[in-house]
């Protein structure tokens, strides 16, 4: 590792000297990397010809920032990390001492007070300090809330760790209610609360849970059976189009089509599984990738059925188990039946609970299957395929069931997705989606449901949160669009998290059976499969 | 072969050949393993022992020949026709591997539960009933844990049941692999060098385990450690270059000069010594006349003998290419056949104090 | 027949570009056994570097000979792209070497996302069209061959020859092949493994940069998202030819090029990619290690 090499030089140069030298190197490299792309910009002029715009100031800023970052990392960051004596370099766990210095009671109280004050005076802020600062203060408020929450988690970490699953499910179930209640109090009206909750329930809650479910589904194939699948989004697409087409053409209900979508996706899972049975490693990866692309290309080009790139619209909404609907024009609209005011929030909250139920079903089935022979066979397959065969396990059917089961949950998620959006197009099923889902599985720790859920929350929630940074416009000017940086930061976050925790957030494996006590199996023993 | 011996043979290998491209790894091999016995398959490195195992357990499809397994209930299976995974499942042949193949990220208990896959699959109604909580899966699951515990106790590993298999020391991993194979409920257990790399204490523990298993299951064993072979096996088959050179009780095999020649990698002069000890005066006279002129440049039977290759004809006409003078047994045959062969019983064993596992001395030259 | 030959030439052109990119995939795979997913975007960065150099040349000089301009574009793109790939290897792959096998795959995907979005952020999301650099078209017996196509094929052939020489006839190539066989043993025998791997990434990037320059010259347009499709095609080509095999990468590239041009010519342009991917799947069913790949045999 580069770090260990540089620490040898430590003996001859002081950290500051070394940092200075490293900073110069970093600056030179950054200059080389950025000179053409940040220093110059290709723009179109009025006659649509490309011209170059010059941005040398920006280039210098970026290079200087890189140098400063490198300098401080080598001079202070690295010695600090070494002094912390990170016991477990492999897992990158922060030592408790560092964390306890970061989460302190006075700071916690300050954060709470700050958050409450800023919430209380929210509407008065722009008048008091001006628009620009008000945006910044709102951001500060969000940070204070996050810090306070992190403190609570830190202080109760033992309790949380012991009851993580129960607490997690409880938090997920209560989440929309809490959001509505908090926002209702804030807005002094229940309707206001419902309207305000839309963003929180839909953009964060549903969005993250879809990815949680997809990642849990893919986890069966990649995390348990150890078969690398780069085309998982294809099954998502199959499920989505199955509901979109059958639902809009034949008017079949979501509740009938949900199993149909799952079954169709599972069927395609087996179809993919057959040719790739003999393939290993990267050959498997490319064929699954190719499969994902084939499905997308067929969706684009089979215009008679799929309406091509334009996509399918007018997909019926989910009904409340056939009893009530969420279309305000219907006679049995939920508002009319229950005699409450009209709001689009009901549907979103209902969808939230629907995807939560589907995700929990995935988790339940996965945990259940892991304790059954087929699940153990998946994991054994990941560990050693030849040994599996020597024990009489039919590896063909085992692989196919893994593909089919994983695909089925992808299909469920797809049907849900098209019901939620009301519109599907091939745009939603690009390779990037497969990559994001796979990244969540690996970042979470292969095989660990909790780790994967956390990874989905961090990665998807994090990128969604970047949409909230509009206040930065007031600092960097109107042209600044933080959303543009969303995927750039997402990609970089993938790299950083992987470097920090190569085995994912939860690197250990929970055994499926025990004789005396359940001990987690360290990640260094588990294999990653040949696929 | 009498009808009786056919009956109590659990495994019959007949005219087995395995070719990889032009290389004949096994040529026309026939032997049988008797029920309730430990049959050892021995031979120098590269003799094709593991290939025989891979043919029996379905990892390779043999080029020719028949491998019959006679079950205790009177059923019999042609192993070369069964798919790989059905050999343990239906014909009840289990195996271990030369380089241990455990599910290292799973606990010991899980390893043994995976081995009971087929039984549990049935009990769980092929997952569907078990998933819904219907049927006898819960009971079957408890029974499988009991069986696993039974074998963990036998292998002296019960204290570590909840540790990952990859965390075990080498000797314990060997025993776990055997225990795992036993959990499939085999009638024939094939062990590929179970004692390799074990220290004497571990080796003794292994012997105990094997003797214990022998009471219920027949064993076919590949082994290099002669102390294990001689102590526990009832029947020994010796291979060299894919051919059987000897077959019989441990006693008869250890005194077979062909085996000695194959194993010790003796110098040509020593073949003479052996013959002298046997008292084959005629041969000595013959040899005195002019040894080895027909055998090319190498004057010794060293593995490093010259690049000239000769080919050994095969009954079906395949040609197995073996470096000159490599097959000690063939060399012995060549010499012994010059003179009328004396009964092998008279061939006294190797010089005292020389262990058959000692370094082949031919390699020194 | 003329039509067929015409398609053959189109396929050869396309296949040359794919082949150049595929070599980068196959070399990296051969030496460290990972799929460098960012390679497609490295190709795109190369094309953008060539684009910027083209514009610089256009703004500094009234006219530059086409050959000289292409050469300058190519060299700058090669240098810059090599620097990118070298940095990426050092930052994102090296610390994970010898770790969990999927970890570098994820960092590679992350790098791919980061690179394409970096270009989007800094250069804007729109397509970047340039005026045609070379427009001569020769007509031989009714078959039209453009100068662009000739340049592409010749440059590719020259580079492949140079590359073949490097890998097979120099000590650097020997070190690479040694690392490919057994990295630990190579290190024990005094091969600087880190340096060899860095050089492999640099070589792969240089070839991708040439492919990028040629792509820009051929199509006259580039966008930040243009790395993905050629990247995946080239990866497909590398696997089809047998990943890890250099002649396989070229062969695979040509095959994909031919399949695409023939399919669009005789069947439907819509499904040309489907055809390429399907043929990949079919070939792998019968030859699980590609056409020229070494069969992977796991010893029992």
Q: Do the Cβ atoms of B236 and B220 come closer than 8 Å?
A: no
What are the chain C neighbours of A296 within 8 Å (beta carbons)? none
Query: What integer pLDDT is reported at residue B98 of this predicted model?
Result: 85
Beta-bridge partners for B239 = B244
B97 to chain C: nearest residue by CA? C300
Instruction: Compare B128 and A254 and report the one with higher pLDDT.
Output: A254
Chain C closest-CA separation from residue A153 CA (Å): 28
Q: Which A positions 171-190 lie with beta carbon below 8 A of chain C? A: none
Chain A contact for C89 (CB, 8 A cutoff): no
Chain B contact for A477 (CB, 8 A cutoff): no
Q: Which DSSP letter does residue B59 get?
A: S
Contacts of C99 (CB under 8 A, 6+ apart): A502
Q: What are phi and psi of B231, to 5 degrees?
A: -70, -45
Chain C contact for B97 (CB, 8 A cutoff): yes
Angle between the B170-183 and B137-154 helix axes, to the nearest 10 degrees?
A: 140
Q: What is the mean pLDDT of residues B241-266?
A: 79
Burial class (CB in 10 A: 0-12, 13-18, 19+), A296: buried
Structural domain of C192: 17-250
d(CA C85, CA C91): 10
Chain C contact for A94 (CB, 8 A cutoff): no
Angle between the C102-123 and A485-500 helix axes, to the nearest 10 degrees?
A: 150
Most confident stretch, A294-308, B273-287, B342-356, C203-217: C203-217
Q: What are phi and psi of B244, to 5 degrees?
A: -80, 130
What are the chain A neighbours of B164 within 8 Å (beta carbons)? 521-522, 525-526
Q: Choose from C109, C198, C299 for mutation: most chain A CBs within 10 A.
A: C109
Q: Which A positions 321-380 lie with beta carbon below 8 A of chain B? A: 365, 368-369, 372-374, 376-377, 379-380
Model pLDDT for residues C14-36, shown as the tens digit of each residue: 999 999 999 988 888 888 888 88
Chain C contact for B59 (CB, 8 A cutoff): yes
d(CA A422, CA A248): 10
Instruction: Compare A183 and A470 and report the one with higher pLDDT.
Output: A183
The SS3 call for residue A511 is coil
C280 to chain A: nearest residue by CA? A287
Chain A closest-CA separation from residue B265 CA (Å): 34
Nearest partner of C130 among C223, C210, C225, C61, judged by Cα: C223
What are the chain C neighbours of A22 within 8 Å (beta carbons)? none
In b/e form, how buried is each residue of B168-191, taking b as 16+ CB within 10 angstroms?
A: beebbbbbbbbbbbbbbbbbbbbb
Least confident among A269-278, A394-403, A450-459: A269-278
Q: Do the Cβ atoms of B91 and B79 come closer than 8 Å?
A: yes
A459 to chain C: nearest residue by CA? C110
| Token output for B64 | 């020719």
- Model confidence at B363, in pLDDT bands (50, 70, 90)? very low
Least confident among B251-265, B328-342, C132-146: B328-342
Contact A392 B124 (CB under 8 A): no
Chain C closest-CA separation from residue B62 CA (Å): 15
Query: What integer pLDDT is reported at residue B195 of this predicted model?
Result: 82
Contacts 24+ apart (CB under 8 A), B244-250: B244/B29, B244/B30, B244/B31, B245/B43, B245/B329, B247/B31, B250/B40
Residue A379 has pLDDT above 70, yes or no: yes
d(CA C299, CA C228): 37
Query: What integer pLDDT is reported at residue A220 of this predicted model?
Result: 93
Identify the H or E element spanning C157. helix C147-169
Least confident among A258-262, A330-334, B25-29, B281-285: B281-285
Nearest partner of A227 among A113, A382, A338, judged by Cα: A382
C9 falls within a domain: no
A493 to chain C: nearest residue by CA? C110
DSSP structure string for A410-460:
HHHHHHHHHHHHSEE-GGGG-HHHHHHHHHHHHHH-TT-HHHHHHHHIIII
Chain B closest-CA separation from residue C288 CA (Å): 18
Q: Choose from C37, C56, C122 for mutation: most chain A CBs within 10 A.
A: C122
Q: What are phi and psi of B15, to 5 degrees?
A: 50, 45
Provide the residue count of chain B: 365
Chain A closest-CA separation from residue B239 CA (Å): 24
Chain A contact for B104 (CB, 8 A cutoff): yes
Query: What integer pLDDT is reported at residue B270 of this predicted model?
Result: 56
Chain B contact for A518 (CB, 8 A cutoff): yes
Of C48, C100, C228, Cβ closest to residue A528: C100
The number of CA neighbours under 13 Å toward the Cβ of A172 is 24
B50 to chain C: nearest residue by CA? C300
Least confident among A326-335, B108-117, B348-357, C196-205: B348-357
Query: What integer pLDDT is reported at residue B316 of this predicted model?
Result: 41
C145 falls within a domain: yes
Alpha-carbon torsion, ordered B76, B80, B83, B88, to 10 deg: 50
Q: What angle do CA A356, A360, A366 make, to 5 degrees?
A: 150
Residue B6 has pLDDT above 70, yes or no: no
Of A275, A285, A293, Cβ closest to residue C35: A285
The SS3 call for residue B30 is strand
d(CA C110, CA A496): 9
Nearest partner of B322 among B331, B312, B337, B313, judged by Cα: B312
Contact B161 A515 (CB under 8 A): yes
Q: What is the mean pLDDT of residues B74-92?
A: 81
B152 to chain A: nearest residue by CA? A515
Hey, which bits of chain B come out as E strands? 9-20, 23-34, 38-42, 64-70, 76-78, 93-95, 188-192, 218-222, 235-240, 243-248, 309-313, 319-323
Q: Do the Cβ atoms of C36 and C25 come closer than 8 Å?
A: yes
Alpha-carbon torsion, ordered C51, C52, C57, C58, to 10 deg: 70
Q: Which DSSP letter does residue C34 get?
A: -
Contacts 24+ apart (CB under 8 A), A59-64: A59/A31, A59/A34, A59/A35, A62/A30, A62/A34, A62/A38, A63/A27, A63/A30, A63/A31, A63/A34, A64/A27
Residue B347 has pLDDT above 60, yes or no: no
Q: Which residue has the tokens 């996509």?
A: A311
Ordered structural domains, chain A, with CATH: 1-83 (no CATH), 198-469 (1.10.3470)
Instruction: Compare A203 and A377 and report the one with higher pLDDT.
Output: A377
What are the chain A neighbours of B158 within 8 Å (beta carbons)? 515
Q: Which DSSP letter does residue A318 get?
A: P
Query: What integer pLDDT is reported at residue B89 of this predicted model?
Result: 79
d(CA A140, CA A118): 9
Contacts of B160 (CB under 8 A, 6+ apart): B108, B167, B168, B172
Radius of gyration of chain C (CA): 19
What are the chain C neighbours of B59 within 8 Å (beta carbons)? 300
B7-92+186-250 falls under which CATH superfamily? P-loop containing nucleotide triphosphate hydrolases (3.40.50.300)
Contacts of C297 (CB under 8 A, 6+ apart): none
d(CA C19, CA A106): 62
How high is the ipTM of this complex? 0.88
Q: Are strands B38-42 and B218-222 parallel, antiparallel or unpaired?
A: parallel
Query: How many Cβ atoms sit within 10 Å of the Cβ of residue A128?
Result: 10
Model pLDDT for residues C86-139, shown as the tens digit of each residue: 999 999 999 888 777 788 888 999 999 999 999 998 888 888 888 888 888 888
| Token output for B100 | 């241990």
Chain C closest-CA separation from residue B275 CA (Å): 40
Q: What is the mean pLDDT of residues A323-341?
A: 74
- Model confidence at B17, in pLDDT bands (50, 70, 90)? confident
Q: What angle do CA C30, C31, C32 make, to 5 degrees?
A: 105
d(CA B288, CA C230): 76
The number of CA neighbours under 13 Å toward the Cβ of B337 is 7
Contact A50 C51 (CB under 8 A): yes
C6 falls within a domain: no
Chain B contact for A394 (CB, 8 A cutoff): yes
What are the chain A neighbours of C37 within 8 Å (beta carbons)? 435
Q: Which DSSP letter does residue A492 get?
A: H
Q: Do the Cβ atoms of A377 and B89 come closer than 8 Å?
A: no
C121 falls within a domain: yes
Query: What integer pLDDT is reported at residue A5 of this predicted model?
Result: 46
d(CA C273, CA C278): 8
Model pLDDT for residues B118-156, shown as the tens digit of each residue: 888 877 777 777 677 776 778 888 888 888 888 888 888
Beta-bridge partners for A52 = A42
Q: Do the Cβ atoms of B112 and B119 come closer than 8 Å?
A: no
What are the chain A neighbours of C100 within 8 Å (beta carbons)? 502-503, 523, 528
Mean pLDDT of chain B: 72
- Model confidence at A325, in pLDDT bands (50, 70, 90)? confident
Q: Do the Cβ atoms of A269 and A408 come closer than 8 Å?
A: yes
C86 falls within a domain: yes
Q: What angle do CA B220, B226, B227 make, to 5 degrees?
A: 100
Query: What integer pLDDT is reported at residue B329 of this predicted model?
Result: 62
Least confident among A180-189, A237-246, C226-235: A180-189
C188 falls within a domain: yes
Burial class (CB in 10 A: 0-12, 13-18, 19+), A385: buried
Model pLDDT for residues A76-113, shown as the tens digit of each residue: 877 777 665 554 444 445 555 566 667 777 888 888 88
Total domains, chain C: 1
Identify the H or E element spanning B296. none
Q: What is the mean pLDDT of residues C237-247?
A: 85
Q: Any idea where the domains of chain B sit in the sequence?
A: 7-92+186-250, 257-364
Q: What is the mean pLDDT of residues A358-372?
A: 90
C296 to chain A: nearest residue by CA? A280
For chains A and C, CB pairs below 8 A equal 188
Nearest partner of A152 among A212, A195, A111, judged by Cα: A111
Contacts 24+ apart (CB under 8 A), B282-291: B282/B338, B282/B339, B282/B340, B283/B335, B283/B336, B283/B338, B283/B339, B286/B335, B286/B338, B286/B339, B287/B335, B287/B338
The SS3 call for residue C81 is helix
Contact A514 B109 (CB under 8 A): yes
């Amino acid at each position: 590792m580069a770090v260990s090499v540089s620490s040898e030089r430590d003996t001859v140069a002081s950290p500051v000297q070394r940092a200075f030298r490293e900073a110069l190197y970093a600056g030179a490299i950054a200059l080389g990397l950025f000179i053409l792309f940040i220093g110059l910009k290709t723009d179109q002029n009025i006659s649509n010809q490309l011209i170059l715009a010059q941005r040398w100031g920006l280039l210098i800023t970026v290079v200087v920032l890189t140098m400063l970052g490198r300098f401080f990392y080598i001079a202070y960051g690295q010695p600090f990390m070494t002094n912390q004596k990170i016991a477990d370099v492999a897992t990158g766990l922060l030592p408790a001492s560092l964390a306890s210095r970061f989460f302190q009671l006075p700071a916690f109280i300050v954060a709470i007070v700050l958050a409450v004050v800023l919430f209380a005076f929210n509407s008065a802020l722009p008048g008091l300090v001006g628009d620009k600062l008000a945006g910044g203060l709102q951001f500060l408020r969000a940070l204070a809330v996050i810090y306070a929450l992190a403190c609570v988690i830190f202080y109760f970490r033992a309790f949380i760790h012991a009851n993580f699953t129960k607490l997690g499910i409880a938090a997920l179930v209560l989440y929309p209610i809490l959001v509505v209640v908090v926002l209702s109090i804030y807005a002094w009206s229940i309707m206001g609360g419902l309207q305000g909750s839309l963003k929180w329930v839909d953009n964060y809650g549903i969005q993250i849970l879809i990815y949680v479910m997809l990642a849990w589904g893919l986890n069966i194939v990649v995390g348990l059976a150890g078969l690398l699948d780069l085309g998982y989004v294809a099954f998502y697409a199959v499920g989505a189009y199955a509901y979109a087409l059958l639902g809009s053409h034949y008017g079949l209900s979501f509740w009938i089509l949900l199993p149909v979508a799952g079954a169709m996706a599972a069927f395609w899972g087996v179809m993919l599984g057959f040719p790739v049975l003999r393939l290993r490693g990267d050959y498997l990866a490319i064929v699954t990738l190719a499969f994902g692309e084939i499905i997308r290309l067929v969706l684009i080009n089979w215009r008679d059925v799929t309406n091509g790139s334009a996509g399918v619209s007018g997909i019926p909404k989910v009904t409340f188990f056939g009893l009530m609907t969420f279309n305000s024009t219907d006679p049995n609209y939920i508002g009319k039946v229950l005699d409450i005011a009209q709001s689009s929030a009901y549907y979103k909250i209902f969808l939230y609970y629907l995807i939560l139920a589907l995700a929990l079903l995935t988790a339940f089935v996965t945990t259940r299957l892991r304790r059954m022979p087929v699940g153990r066979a998946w994991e054994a397959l990941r560990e050693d395929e030849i040994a599996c065969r020597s024990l009489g396990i039919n590896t063909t059917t085992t692989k196919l069931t893994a593909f089919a089961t994983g695909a089925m949950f992808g299909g469920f998620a797809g049907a849900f997705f098209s019901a939620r959006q009301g519109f599907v197009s091939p745009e939603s099923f690009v390779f990037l989606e497969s990559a994001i889902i796979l990244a969540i599985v690996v970042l979470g720790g292969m095989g660990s449901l909790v780790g994967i859920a956390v990874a989905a929350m961090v990665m998807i929630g994090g990128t969604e949160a970047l949409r909230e940074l509009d206040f930065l416009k007031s600092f960097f000017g109107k042209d600044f669009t933080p959303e543009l940086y969303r995927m750039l930061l997402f990609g970089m976050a993938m790299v950083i998290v992987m470097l920090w925790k190569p085995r994912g957030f939860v690197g250990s494996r929970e055994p499926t059976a025990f004789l005396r006590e359940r001990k987690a199996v360290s990640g260094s023993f588990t294999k990653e499969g040949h696929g | 072969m009498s009808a009786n011996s056919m009956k109590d043979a659990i495994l019959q290998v007949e005219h087995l050949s395995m070719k990889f491209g032009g290389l004949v790894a096994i040529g026309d091999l026939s032997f049988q393993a008797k029920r309730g016995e430990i049959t050892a398959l021995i031979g120098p490195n590269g003799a094709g022992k593991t290939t025989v195992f891979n043919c029996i357990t379905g990892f390779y499809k043999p080029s020719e020949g028949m491998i019959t397994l006679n079950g205790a209930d009177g059923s019999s299976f042609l192993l070369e026709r069964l798919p790989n995974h059905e050999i343990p499942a239906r014909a009840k042949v289990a195996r271990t591997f030369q380089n241990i193949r455990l599910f290292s990220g799973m606990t010991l208990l899980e390893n043994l539960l995976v081995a009971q896959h087929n039984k549990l699959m049935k009990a769980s109604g092929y997952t569907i009933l078990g998933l819904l909580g219907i049927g006898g899966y819960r009971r079957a699951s408890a029974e499988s844990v009991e069986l696993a515990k039974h074998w963990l106790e036998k292998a002296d590993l019960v204290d570590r049941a909840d540790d990952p298999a990859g965390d075990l020391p080498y000797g314990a991993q060997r025993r776990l692999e055997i225990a795992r194979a036993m959990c499939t409920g085999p009638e024939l257990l094939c062990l590929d060098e179970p004692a390799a790399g074990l220290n004497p204490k571990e080796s003794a523990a292994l012997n105990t385990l094997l003797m214990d298993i022998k009471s219920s299951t027949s064993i076919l064993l590949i082994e290099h450690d002669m102390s294990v072979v001689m102590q526990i096996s009832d029947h020994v088959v010796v291979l060299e270059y894919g051919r059987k050179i000897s077959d019989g009780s441990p006693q008869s095999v250890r005194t077979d000069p062909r085996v000695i020649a194959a194993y010790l990698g003796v110098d040509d002069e020593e073949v003479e010594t052996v013959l002298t000890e046997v008292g084959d005066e005629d041969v000595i006279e013959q040899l005195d006349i002019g040894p080895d002129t027909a055998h090319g440049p190498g004057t010794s039977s060293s593995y490093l003998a010259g690049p000239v290759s000769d080919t050994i004809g095969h009954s079906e006409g395949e040609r197995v290419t073996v470096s000159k003078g490599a097959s000690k047994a063939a060399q012995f045959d060549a010499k012994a056949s010059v003179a009328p062969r004396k009964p092998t019983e008279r061939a006294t064993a190797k010089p005292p104090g020389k262990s058959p596992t000692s370094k082949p001395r031919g390699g020194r030259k | 027949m003329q039509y067929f030959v015409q398609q053959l030439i189109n396929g050869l052109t396309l296949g040359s570009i794919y082949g150049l990119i595929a070599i980068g995939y196959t070399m990296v795979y051969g030496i460290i056994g990972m799929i460098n997913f960012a390679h497609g975007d490295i190709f795109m960065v190369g094309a953008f570097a060539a684009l910027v150099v083209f514009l610089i040349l256009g703004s500094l000089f009234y006219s530059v000979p086409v050959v000289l301009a292409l050469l300058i574009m190519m060299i700058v793109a090669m240098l810059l792209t090599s620097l990118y790939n070298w940095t990426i290897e050092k930052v994102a792959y090296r610390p994970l070497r010898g770790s969990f096998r999927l970890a570098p795959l994820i960092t590679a995907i992350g790098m791919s996302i980061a690179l394409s979005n970096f270009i989007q952020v800094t250069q804007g999301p729109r397509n970047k069209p340039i005026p045609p650099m070379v427009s001569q078209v020769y007509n031989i017996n009714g078959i039209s061959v453009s100068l662009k196509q000739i340049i592409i094929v010749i440059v590719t052939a020259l580079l492949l020859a140079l590359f073949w020489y490097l890998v097979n006839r120099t000590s650097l190539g020997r070190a690479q092949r040694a690392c490919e066989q057994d990295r630990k043993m190579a290190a024990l025998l005094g091969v600087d493994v880190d340096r060899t791997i860095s050089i492999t990434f640099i070589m792969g990037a240089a070839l991708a940069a040439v492919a990028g320059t040629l792509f820009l010259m051929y199509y006259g347009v580039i966008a930040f998202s243009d790395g993905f499709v050629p990247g995946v095609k080239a990866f497909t080509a590398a696997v089809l030819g047998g990943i890890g095999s250099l002649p396989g990468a070229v062969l695979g590239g040509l095959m994909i090029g031919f399949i695409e041009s023939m399919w669009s010519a005789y069947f439907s342009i819509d499904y040309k990619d489907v055809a390429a991917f399907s043929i990949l799947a079919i070939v792998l069913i019968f030859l699980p290690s590609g056409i020229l790949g070494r069969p992977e045999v796991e010893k029992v």
